[in-house]
Amino acid sequence: MKSHALAAAVALTATGLATAGSAETLRLLTWGSYAPDALIEKFEEMYPDIEVEVTYSNNEEMIAKLRATGGAGFDLAQPSHDRIYAPQIEYEIYKPLDLTKINTGAMSKVHLDAVLENTTIDGEVYAVPHQWGTSGLMANTSLAPDVSGWGDLCDSQYAGKTSMRLRRTILLGTAFAMGEDPFAAYADLDAYQDLLDRVADELIECKANIKAYWQGGDDLSAMMLSGEIVASETWDSTAYKLYNENPDIVFIPPETGALTWIDTFVIPAKGQADDAAYKWINFVLDPENIKIMSASTGAIAAVPGGTELLPEDKRAAVSAAFSDEDIENLKFFANIPPGVEDMEGKTLEKIKAATGG
């Protein structure tokens, strides 16, 4: 009886493996909107033996998922460029890339260099750039015309009418607004802790001015469009979307520099479809496909002239937001050294628990 059941189970597993082997599956772990259906269909038409399976996630959850399995379960992932070095050192969840298989010539040099510099460990490269964007401020210029820096969210003339997301971005932005360079302070964690403590004091004092901390693009959009808030920290793509509905709402790169992220491609340590993964990376570098991708993500492709490949309305929003000077002033997120996330997390909890207002 027992041995029969066992045999049946073995047979089942064997057939399961056999079907998995004949048609390759590319399991993509990425951000919502980073795998539009139109692109997936086009890709599957081009490579009929590859099937694309998409799981939507965010930076922290991508790393948590890969950490839980030691880098198994997915064949291609897209964390931001500052989320690769430390997780690789701590959990060994990525696989070195073979750059000869990637059309790096099509990528814009500034983004490629920034990613390579941040994600090379012991001579091995772990990521290449895909799309980039910024975090900064947004304001309804008819109601809040003078917003120019992170500190303006705490300006009492907007009391109860501003918002921010209680995550690491606002810690970094506030540090810059205080005239500090948090990325430089990463080198000395004691100094960074000291800086974090001062940032926490600033943000706790600011609490009375804040209406609520937003959690995601949806609640932020609702508060902004209804006029419940007039200025907020934001992702640029959220601001661009709102610009289409109300041209008074614009993205404002803070005077200390918009914080810039680059979403990348990495191959998880136990990925099982590397070739398909490389095919997808090269596929989405094609200018036609970039147009479809950027229309869906609202982010800019990391290729020369990436802004030109944005759809009309997004391009208008970008040019309303950025001057050439602002582009010069972009601050790329620096690699997060091991341990910094924990320090920042504790600081954020301290701010949330404080009864400031």
Partner 1 sequence: MSRDARRLSLILLFAPFALWILLLIALPHLGILALSMREKVAPRVYEFGFGNYAEFITEPIYWNTLLRTGSMSLLVTFLALIIGFPIAYYIAKIAGKRARGALFLMCLIPLWVSDLIRAFGWILLLRESGVISRSLQWMGLTQSGIEFLYNDAAVIVGLVYTVILFMIVPLVSTLDGMGDDMIEAGYNLGGNSLTVLRRIIVPYAMPGIVAGCIVVFMMTAGSYLTPILLGGKNSSWFTEQIYNQFISRFNWEGGAAFGVLLLLFTSGVVWIGLRLSGQSLANTVARS
- Under rule CB under 8 A, residue 63 binds partner 1: yes
Residue 90 in contact with partner 1, rule: CB under 8 A:
yes
Q: How far from 292 is each of 113, 235, 286, 289, CA to CA, in Å?
A: 25, 20, 10, 5
Q: Extract the tokens encoding 195.
A: 């800086």
State yes or no: residue 159 binds partner 1 (CB under 8 A): no
Residue 169 or 256: the one with the smaller Cβ distance to partner 1 is: 169
d(CA 308, CA 137) in angstroms, rounded, equals 23
> How far apart are alpha carbons 189 and 197 in whole angstroms?
12
Told to check if 215 binds partner 1 by CB under 8 A, we report yes
Q: For residue 115, count CB atoms less than 10 angstroms from its CB and return exposed for 0-12, middle for 13-18, buried for 19 or more.
A: buried
Binding residue for partner 1, selected from 102, 128, 210, 259, defined by CB under 8 A: 210
Interaction between residue 70 and partner 1 (CB under 8 A): no
Contact between 350 and partner 1 by CB under 8 A: the answer reads yes
Please give the size of the binding site for partner 1, defined by CB under 8 A.
Answer: 37
Using CB under 8 A as the binding rule, whether residue 64 contacts partner 1 is answered as yes
Task: Find the part of the chain contacting partner 1 (CB under 8 A) among 4-12, 43-51, 57-65, 176-184.
Answer: 57-65
Q: Confirm or reject binding of residue 355 to partner 1 (CB under 8 A).
A: yes
Beta strand ranges found along the chain (DSSP E): 24-31, 50-57, 76-77, 94-95, 120-121, 124-125, 128-140, 162-164, 210-213, 231-235, 249-252, 259-265, 267-268, 300-301, 331-332
Residue 16 or 345: the one with the smaller Cβ distance to partner 1 is 345
Inter-residue contact 136 to 259 (CB < 8 Å)? yes
259 CB-near residues (< 8 Å, 6+ apart): 134, 135, 136, 169, 172, 173, 331, 333
Given 32, 145, 287, 356, the residue binding partner 1 (CB under 8 A)? 356
Does 245 contact partner 1 by CB under 8 A?
Answer: no
**Least distance between partner 1 and beta carbon 242 (Å):** 15
- Residue 44 exposed, middle or buried by CB count within 10 Å (0-12, 13-18, 19+): middle
| Choices 3-11, 36-44, 86-94, 252-260 (CB under 8 A): range interacting with partner 1 | 86-94
Examine residue 167 and tell whether it contacts partner 1 (CB under 8 A).
yes
Name the phi and psi angles at 49, rounded to 5.
-90, 5
Closest CA to 227 of 206, 213, 246, 207: 246
Q: Which is nearer to partner 1, 216 or 287 (CB)?
A: 216
222 sits near partner 1 (criterion: CB under 8 A):
yes
Element (H, E) at 12: helix 2-22
Q: From CA 94, how far away is CA 73, in angstroms rounded?
A: 12
Nearer to partner 1, 210 or 302 (CB): 210
Least distance to partner 1 from the beta carbon of 256, Å? Answer: 24
Phi first, then psi, for residue 250 (nearest 5°) are -125, 155
With beta carbons less than 8 A apart as the criterion, state whether 192 and 167 touch: no
Q: Contact at 8 Å (CB) between 326 and 73?
A: no
Smallest gap, in angstroms, from Cβ of residue 134 to partner 1?
Answer: 21
Q: Which is nearer to partner 1, 83 or 241 (CB)?
A: 83
Q: How far is the CB of 162 from partner 1 (least distance, A)?
A: 11
> Counting contacts by CB under 8 A, is residue 342 touching partner 1?
yes
Q: Which of 31, 43, 126, 213: binder of partner 1 (CB under 8 A)?
A: 213
Closer CB to partner 1, residue 5 or residue 14? 5
Distance of CA 313 to the CA centre of its chain: 22
Contact residue for partner 1 among 54, 320, 330, 354 (CB under 8 A): 354
Q: Is 194 in the site for partner 1 (CB under 8 A)?
A: no
Neighbours of 148 (CB within 10 A): 14
Query: Which residues in this chain contact partner 1 in the complex, by CB under 8 A?
Result: 60-61, 63-64, 67, 87, 89-92, 167, 207, 210-213, 215, 219, 222, 226-228, 338, 341-342, 344-346, 348-350, 352-357
